[in-house]
A and B are shown apart, each in its own frame.
Chain A
Amino acid sequence: MARGIGLGAPLSKIAVSKAHGEDSPYFAGWKAYDEDPYDPVANPTGVIQMGLAENQVSFDLLEDYLEQHPETASWSSGISGFKENALFQDYHGLQSFRKAMASFMEQIRGKRVKFNPDRMVLTAGATAANELLTFILADPGDAVLVPTPYYPGFDRDLQWRTGVKIFPVHCHSSNGFQLTLHSLQSAYSIAEASNLRVKALLITNPSNPLGTTMPRSLLEDILNFISQKNIHLISDEIYSGSVFSSPEFISVAEVVETRQHKNCDGVHIVYSLSKDLGLPGFRVGTIYSYNDRVVTTARRMSSFSLVSSQTQKMLASMLSDEEFTVKYIKTNRERLRRRHGYIVEGLKDAGIECLEGNAGLFCWMNLTQMLEEKSMEGELRLWKMILSEVKLNVSPGSSCYCAEPGWFRVCFANMTEETLEVALRRTKVFVEKIKGRKTNVIFRS
């Protein structure tokens, strides 16, 4: 028996805490998929993954580009180019890459704003960007306001290692779950009254899981609010390139520019290539801040999550190729619009309504009528049923901290159209079965 085995050297609180949030149904559903993944040929009765917000509809555009520009994937300037690149670990990031990212972000916003590459801090994904900003803007025990429903990963990103608390700002179906100035002010007051120091507001625009964009008036209200309370605003715009129908996307950057950059040192934008370009594995994220000190501090802290110099070089040429980016953005949007239309129609046909959305890689489904009990337990029971009987992994609203039970997020861009068709067929059958059960219950009593 090995020496010294007893209780063993203890681990930290962070290591044993559940604050990473990965025990929620949001992640549990992925496990169910892993164990029994759908395959049209090999496993046609398997679980269809509809809980993963990934964009796989435009891969071919990337493949084509790489095919036509093979130099993208190599070091065309020879060994010296390779050496430079291999040794490059400067936390400023490759200037050519920052320029390319800035120009791509401008392109997405219809060139209505200008991004200064020197204000971009590169991080290995938006996950790292959000955590980094939280470390910089808040101390352990402080709070960040986050409108609900929100992306479950925020629990981990904003709270786990930072010790900061998320304070939810609840939104309701009565107005399409839109954030209001009133709910912000009310949440702020309650937080402060419970001795929580609010340091920032984090919005996701376009919203995950709602799939909607914020109107200009709301953005104006938000900027006034943060200015008045002297707190920071983090605008996570990771889905900005996935707005496929009107209303047009308005970035907080546009409002800042309209205000001629007055009072904007509390505004920070997070972006990434994981959704719009469908490259989550590349780990490319960025913080764009209007605050010099935040830029400087974030840059230093980014040492813990630098983007591979190889990847920076590879993407620099691709993203500064305007012919490619214009075509990509346009085509991607069209395809997402088509997919979205297809799933919304299909769900409608099955008797399910969705919140009207114009962006993102998912729909916000209203299954409130299918709940046996209008509660979180009822919702989770329905979710388990959908997972085990219908073999669809969708995300229950409670895992997104939605204030009202019965809403579910369903992703539509991470599978082929054929698979989506199968999913819709299964859904229709299921809804009819549920309706049937309810009718039977009525008969018996």
Chain B
Amino acid sequence: MRIIVPLQGIVQGRGGLILGSLIPCALLYFLQFYLKRNRSSPPPHSPSESSANLPELAEIPRSTSRSTLSTRGSLRPVPVSSRAIAISKSRDSAYYTGLKKSLEDPYHPTYNPDGIIQLGLAENQLSLDIIGDWITANLQKSLLGEMRGDLNIRGLATYEPFDGLWDLKVAMAGFMSQIMGGSVSFNPAQIILTAGATPAVEALSFCLADPGNAFLVPSPYYPGFDRDIKLRTGVELIPVQCRSSNKFNLSIAALEREYKQAKKRGIKVRAVLFTNPSNPVGGLMHRETLYDLLNFVTEKNLHLISDEVYAGSIYGTEEFVSIAELLDTEDFDKNRVHIIYGLSKDLSLPGFRVGVIYSYNENVIAAASKLARFCAISLPTQCLLVSMLSDTKFIEEYIKANRERLGKMYALFTEGLKQLDIECCKSSGGFYCWADMSKFLQSYGVKGELELWENILNVAKVNITPGSSCHCIEPGWFRCCFTTLTESDIPLVMKRFSKVLKGHKAS
């Protein structure tokens, strides 16, 4: 299976790869084509890993004002909260629209060769087979044994610590250290485990800021932050623009400017949130910049949140430096520093829901451990991971192989783009490249960018993420994920791109 197509729910049976995948796959496509032709009702939602981000526009009646009208008698609808209304009415960015469209018409080499190729989802499928092999070799008996052991133990034990089993915290601390190059160690007692990095970021935001407060976020940034942070906490995000002239690296001067501006507007900034390795650019933050950041937040008495979910997904020659490393060597107040981590990226296990809040602040740890009650990791998954993460030899092999595969795919993909006269900002980590297609814009601005994006989506049938969805201030940059492809897919992708770009060549 090259590009994974949505098969969840169908491929549950015991069939082998061929039976289990191709036939249900064919059935699914026939079903989709049939329904498309006869569409009077909303399309069936194709179960897929990416629709976690989807708008549900098709399912609810568009008369969203229903909820606020109080009409006669017993037929008036019961009102919902303003937060609920906000979700329904939120204008979905191209990021989400593109994901949705790709699901409706997903590419498959045999059954849907003209379908949309999904390059908008940061998922790494390059090394899952390695993990699958480990599971096959180690799990069959062990999970059962672990679970039974655990079930037995709980006959005598107390309630579950909702912020995670101690054994898993220990294994996770070791894993984080290993995957970040071994230059820093992590303390299990500072770990709060959560059902994914998404609730980790939200819970941390709840701890550090009140509604109406703001975080400064170097841009372009991960589109999901807008939903994850703003939705229920009421915290605002203020983009701090990074420039191509500076390779999209953070400038402390820009940070200062935005901080002052916020102050003028009467907005209380509580933290700086940055992703390192960065998303969507894929750059690694330099040690000096980290140092300057620590100085900045110290001076302004802010918190610092380092989202390091891609820490293990680096390639190339540059080494990743965690903020934790600086705290080891430099003399800063650690109480303001917090790290977000998870296994959705580095171990390709987004379905298992495993995230980490790592904090040096005992009050944050105390509050977050209670918040973890709302987003705890499922026990069988915890058991599985204690085994896997403790197998340091396996992790070592995995890290090495994964980095090689990432690096190779990055090189091939960016080379392909280069042939089309598209340059990329140099990336050293993540699952994507940050491509400069500004020369192909009919008009230099967000409008031109979205026009190009739409053409690429509808004509070239490739879904990539436009920079405007990531709050990038320079139009024409696009994030292209390459980790769901195989090498042989790349020529096809480039061919599709060229179809549209030829027509867009700036005069």
Q: What is the interface of chain A, defined by CB distance below 8 A to chain B?
A: 1-16, 20, 22, 30, 33-34, 37, 39, 49, 52, 54, 56, 59, 62-63, 66, 70-71, 73-92, 94-96, 124-125, 127-128, 131, 135-140, 142, 156, 161, 199, 226-227, 230-232, 262-263, 265-266, 279-284, 291-294, 296-297, 299-301, 303-311, 313-314, 316, 416
Which A residues are CB-close (under 8 A) to B302?
Answer: 9
Q: Is the CB of B195 within 8 A of A11?
A: no
Q: Is the CB of A96 within 8 A of B9?
A: yes
B155 at the interface (CB under 8 A from A): yes
Interface string of B92-128 (1 = CB under 8 A from A): 0000000000000000000000000000000101001
Q: Is the CB of B83 within 8 A of A136?
A: yes
Interface string of B192-233 (1 = CB under 8 A from A): 000110110010001111110100000000000001100110
Q: Is the CB of B60 within 8 A of A292?
A: yes
Interface string of B43-57 (1 = CB under 8 A from A): 001011111100010
Interface string of B130-163 (1 = CB under 8 A from A): 0111011001100110011011101110111000
Which A residues are CB-close (under 8 A) to B350?
Answer: 86-89
Q: Is the CB of A74 within 8 A of B12?
A: no
With A8-B335, A87-B123 in contact, is A307–B70 under 8 Å at CB? no
Q: Which of A71, A95, A139, A281 contacts B160 (CB 8 A)?
A: A281
Which B residues are CB-close (under 8 A) to A293?
Answer: 60, 64, 66-67, 80, 84, 88
Q: Is the CB of A282 within 8 A of B378?
A: yes
B77 at the interface (CB under 8 A from A): yes
Question: Which residue of chain A has the shortest Cβ distance to B300 in the bound complex?
Answer: A9
Q: What is the interface of chain B, defined by CB distance below 8 A to chain A?
A: 1, 4, 7-9, 11-17, 20-21, 45, 47-52, 56, 59-61, 64, 66-67, 70, 74-84, 87-88, 123, 125, 128-129, 131-133, 135-136, 139-140, 143-144, 147-148, 150-152, 154-156, 158-160, 195-196, 198-199, 202, 206-211, 213, 227-228, 231-232, 270-271, 297-299, 301-303, 331-336, 344, 348-353, 361, 363-364, 367, 370-371, 373-382, 384
Could you list 26 A-B pairs, sorted by A, with CB under 8 Å? A4-B336, A5-B333, A8-B301, A12-B209, A14-B207, A20-B370, A39-B156, A56-B155, A70-B140, A77-B13, A79-B133, A79-B136, A86-B348, A87-B128, A87-B350, A89-B351, A135-B84, A226-B78, A262-B74, A281-B154, A281-B382, A283-B376, A291-B78, A303-B52, A305-B195, A308-B353
Which A residues are CB-close (under 8 A) to B202?
Answer: 304
Q: Is the CB of A52 within 8 A of B9?
A: no
Which A residues are CB-close (under 8 A) to B270?
Answer: 9-10, 12
Which A residues are CB-close (under 8 A) to B131?
Answer: 82, 86
Shortest distance from the beta carbon of B227 to any chain A beta carbon, whole Å? 8
Question: Which residue of chain B has the shortest Cβ distance to A60 in the bound complex?
Answer: B151
Q: Which of A305, A309, A416 contacts B374 (CB 8 A)?
A: A305
Shortest distance from the beta carbon of B46 to any chain A beta carbon, whole Å? 9
Which A residues are CB-close (under 8 A) to B7?
Answer: 84
Which A residues are CB-close (under 8 A) to B136?
Answer: 78-79, 82
Q: Is the CB of B81 within 8 A of A92?
A: no
Q: Other than A9-B302, A283-B376, give 18 A-B pairs with Cβ distance below 8 A.
A: A3-B333, A12-B270, A15-B206, A77-B15, A80-B20, A86-B128, A88-B8, A89-B344, A91-B51, A95-B47, A124-B378, A125-B374, A127-B373, A139-B81, A279-B379, A282-B378, A297-B84, A306-B52
Q: Is the CB of A124 within 8 A of B158?
A: no
With A90-B47, A227-B74 in contact, is A12–B207 under 8 Å at CB? yes
Question: Which residue of chain A has the shortest Cβ distance to B57 in the bound complex?
Answer: A296
A33 to B157, CA, bound (A): 10
Q: Is the CB of B199 within 8 A of A2?
A: no
Q: Is the CB of A2 within 8 A of B332?
A: yes
Which A residues are CB-close (under 8 A) to B4?
Answer: 83-84, 87
Which B residues are CB-close (under 8 A) to A232?
Answer: 78
Q: Which of B11, B84, B143, B301 contacts A80 (CB 8 A)?
A: B11
Q: Which of A8, A85, A87 contacts B125 (CB 8 A)?
A: A87
Question: Which residue of chain B has the shortest Cβ distance to A51 in the bound complex?
Answer: B159
With most chain A CB atoms within 10 A of its CB, the pick from B8, B299, B332, B379 is B8
A125 to B298, CA, bound (A): 39
Q: Is the CB of A84 within 8 A of B332?
A: no
Q: Which of A5, A127, A230, A307 contacts B378 (CB 8 A)?
A: A307
A158 to B125, CA, bound (A): 39
Shortest distance from the beta carbon of A190 to any chain B beta carbon, whole Å? 21
Q: Which of A85, A280, A308 contacts B159 (CB 8 A)?
A: A280
Q: Which 4 A-B pairs have the closest CB atoms?
A: A309-B351, A281-B379, A4-B298, A308-B378
A413 to B437, CA, bound (A): 64
With A9-B297, A82-B135 in contact, is A90–B159 under 8 Å at CB? no
Which A residues are CB-close (under 8 A) to B76?
Answer: 230
Q: Is the CB of A79 within 8 A of B160?
A: no
Which B residues are CB-close (under 8 A) to A30?
Answer: 158-159
With most chain B CB atoms within 10 A of its CB, the pick from A7, A230, A281, A305 is A281
Shortest distance from the beta carbon of B7 to any chain A beta carbon, whole Å? 6
A16 to B152, CA, bound (A): 37
Shortest distance from the beta carbon of A163 to any chain B beta carbon, whole Å? 8
A142 to B82, CA, bound (A): 11
Which A residues are CB-close (under 8 A) to B78?
Answer: 226, 230-232, 265-266, 291
A4 to B79, CA, bound (A): 48
With A4-B333, A94-B8, A281-B378 in contact, is A138–B81 under 8 Å at CB? yes
Question: Which residue of chain A has the shortest Cβ distance to B46 in the bound complex?
Answer: A90
Shortest distance from the beta carbon of B432 to any chain A beta carbon, whole Å? 17
